[in-house]
Amino acid sequence: MENRPWLAKYPAGVPANINADQYDSLLDFIQECFNKNGKKEAFECMGAALTYEKLDKLSTHFGAYLQSRGLEKGDKIALMMPNLLQYPVALFGALKAGLVIVNTNPLYTAREMEHQFTDSDVKAIVIAENFANNLQQIIGNTNISIVITTSIGGMLGAIKGSLTNFVVRKIKRMVPKFSIPNTVTVKEAIKQGSKFTLTDVETCGDDVIVHQYTGGTTGVAKGAMLTNRNLLANMLQIKAWLSGSIQENETVTLSPLPMYHIFAFTVNCMAMMSYGAKTILIVNARDLGSIVKEFKNHKVNVMTGVNTLFNALLNNDDFRSVDFSHLNITVAGGMALQNAVATKWKEVTGCTLSEGYGMTESSPVASVNPIDGSARMGTIGIPVPSTDMRIVNDKGIKLGAGESGEIQIKGPQVMKGYYNKPEETAKTIKDGWLCTGDIGMMDSDGFFKIVDRKKDMILVSGFNVYPNEIEEVISQHPKVLEVAAIGIPSEKSGEVVKVFIVRKDKSLKEKEIITFCKQHCTGYKVPKEVEFRDELPKSNVGKILRRELREA
Is the pLDDT confidence value at 480 over 90? yes
Q: What's 26-203's CATH class? A: alpha beta
Q: Which helix (H) or strand (E) holds 439?
A: strand 433-442
Is the pLDDT confidence value at 535 over 90? yes
Record: fold of 457-551: GMP Synthetase; Chain A, domain 3 (3.30.300)
| Residue burial 255-272, b: 16+ Cβ < 10 Å; e: rest | bbbbbbbbbbbbbbbbbb
For residue 524, give the nearest of 478, 462, 472 by alpha carbon: 462
The reported pLDDT for the residue numbered 220 is: 66
Strand partners, 128: 150
The reported pLDDT for the residue numbered 524 is: 86
- The bridge status of strand 405-410 relative to strand 388-392 is antiparallel
The reported pLDDT for the residue numbered 48 is: 98
The reported pLDDT for the residue numbered 218 is: 42
pTM flag (> 0.85): yes
What's the mean pLDDT in 201-209? 97
Task: Count Cα neighbours of 114 within 13 Å in the Cβ-side half-sphere.
Answer: 11
Superfamily name with CATH number, domain 5-17+224-453: ANL, N-terminal domain (3.40.50.12780)
The reported pLDDT for the residue numbered 216 is: 44
Q: Burial level of 170, CB count in 10 A (0-12/13-18/19+)?
A: exposed
Is the pLDDT confidence value at 453 over 80? no
Instruction: Name the least confident of 19-23, 178-182, 244-248.
Output: 244-248
Decide if 18 contacts 385 (C-beta within 8 A).
yes
What's the mean pLDDT in 96-124? 93
Is the pLDDT confidence value at 383 over 90? yes
**Domains in the chain: boundaries:** 5-17+224-453, 26-203, 457-551
What's the mean pLDDT in 250-278? 94
Amino acid at 451: V
For the chain, give the mean pLDDT: 94
State what percent of residues in the chain have pLDDT above 90: 84
What are the pLDDT digits (tens) for 302-320?
999 988 899 999 999 999 9
What's the mean pLDDT in 417-444? 95
Is the pLDDT confidence value at 175 over 60? yes
Instruction: Name the least confident of 129-143, 223-237, 249-263.
Output: 249-263
Confidence band of 333 (pLDDT split at 50, 70, 90) = confident
CB-CB neighbours of 13 under 10 Å: 10
What are the pLDDT digits (tens) for 397-407?
999 999 999 99
Q: 3-class SS at 318?
A: helix
The reported pLDDT for the residue numbered 1 is: 54
Instruction: Name the least confident of 111-120, 196-205, 219-228, 425-434.
Output: 219-228
Is the pLDDT confidence value at 217 over 70? no
The DSSP symbol for 298 reads S
For residue 375, give the nearest of 389, 362, 356, 358 by alpha carbon: 356
Confidence band of 46 (pLDDT split at 50, 70, 90) = very high
Is the pLDDT confidence value at 215 over 80? no
**Same fold flag, 5-17+224-453 and 457-551:** no
Q: Give CA–CA dist 260/249, Å, rounded.
A: 25
Candidate ranges 91-95, 472-476, 487-491; pick with highest mean pLDDT: 91-95
What's the mean pLDDT in 228-237? 98
